[in-house]
Structure 1
């Protein structure tokens, strides 16, 4: 899902408040929740990483349109980093140093453009590092992040699956610096209805909560997805396919069950 299609949910707003607080207080935060419920989407939205990732990764000749990226990074002051599966501490340091430097250059460029050049201070120009898939971090990598936090005064958020907060409790030096733990929850029923209205419109339909057929379909979707954002997206890709193949015009319980049958569902 790109930035234009992003749906601002209550959980995303809660994540934004959490990230703002961690960033403002220069502390460490842990965000945990089930796979597919929107943690990474919220982190990418908060950091404007969908806009910045290509430029930061390729780091080639500049273009006038890059000013939009500079402005976005100037607003977020955030680096988003996803460690690889076999990450070594040396690679972690090298990759973080590289992305940190490049984002800092972009922010400085933006500040210079708007007439507010960066001033020397005790705090770096990048204010927050968000590490996704944090379960992949080895004990040495965790210690490296703690040392970087202590030395550079850059706030840190680690994102992962439920139990992440307990995993890091095994590292007392690190855990003692954690200021906030945030649980990212699945969509509630009201928010699920709101998101489904968007999906109905995408298929050229109008969702009517008072209509029995629509209510049945909503109940089936809630049962299948349990408010899981990623599974909801996958389910509707298959729903659209089922409707086209069978030349159907109404989203029914049977359509949802047919779409479900094509999915591998991994929610426990």
Structure 2
């Protein structure tokens, strides 16, 4: 195995696979495998969001809004390389807004993945779509209140990573004081 960091251009900015990024990947994969809710926290600017975008290879264009539209080859390529959905928590949010954004991402990603495999039956597309999303990453999760977190927990099956630029104590208080959300929570601190 090559111990040199891997460099890649991402949205016009160079991304370097560092030791911290490898820790993020390991943490993310453990959360997916063991169905934990993960919390990645750290000071603003250390690269949590950038690492998540790079890992997921997410693009908002992946979300398919129609079950019958043709998938262009550019979208098919993006879906093939994507590992999950990224949602940035809105500054002003409610459980309904959070649920709609997450469901739109999960279902749009799932439909695109199913359509990419040749599925055309609308009933199958609707039924399979939520199951085909391997991971949801919620950026700026410290903006979410308890009701919005509960809304996320209710969307099944979901494997979630929360990115927070606040301190774990502040965000963790919200998530761990609420028993049904707080079980199976793992955390990892991002370093600069």
TM-score in same-fold range (> 0.5): yes
Q: Which runs of 5+ in 1 are unaligned?
A: 187-268
**Secondary structure class of the residue paired with 2:132:** coil
Contact 1:82–1:132, Cα closer than 8 Å, also in 2: yes
- 1:36 paired residue number: 45
Q: In the TM superposition, what whole-angstrom CA distance separates every residue of 1:102-143 from its partner, at most 9, and x where no partner exists?
A: 100122233449xxxx9x89x811121110001110221011
TM-score by length of 2: 0.78
Cα offset, 1:70, TM superposition: 1.9
- 1:266 paired residue number: none
With over 3 angstroms needed to count, the CA separation of the structure-2 counterparts of 1:58 and 1:21, relative to structure 1, is: same
Q: Which moved more, 1:157-166 or 1:24-33?
A: 157-166
Cα offset, 1:155, TM superposition: 0.9
- 1:2 paired residue number: 10
Mapped partners of 1:163, 1:42: distance in 2: 18
2:148 to 141, 144, 163: 141
Q: Which runs of 5+ in 2 are unaligned?
A: 1-8, 120-124
Equivalences, count: 172
With over 3 angstroms needed to count, the CA separation of the structure-2 counterparts of 1:57 and 1:135, relative to structure 1, is: farther
Q: Which has the higher contact order (CA 8 A, sep 6+)?
A: 2
- 2:91 paired residue number: 85
Mapped partners of 1:63, 1:42: distance in 2: 27
2:172 to 163, 168, 171: 168
Q: Which has the higher helix share?
A: 1
TM-score by length of 1: 0.57
- Aligned-pair Cα RMSD in Å: 2.7
- 1:11 paired residue number: 20
**Secondary structure class of the residue paired with 1:84:** coil
Contact 1:83–1:132, Cα closer than 8 Å, also in 2: yes
Q: In the TM superposition, what whole-angstrom CA distance separates every residue of 1:222-266 from its partner, at most 9, and x where no partner exists?
A: xxxxxxxxxxxxxxxxxxxxxxxxxxxxxxxxxxxxxxxxxxxxx
Q: Which has the higher strand share?
A: 2
Mapped partners of 2:54, 2:106: distance in 1: 18
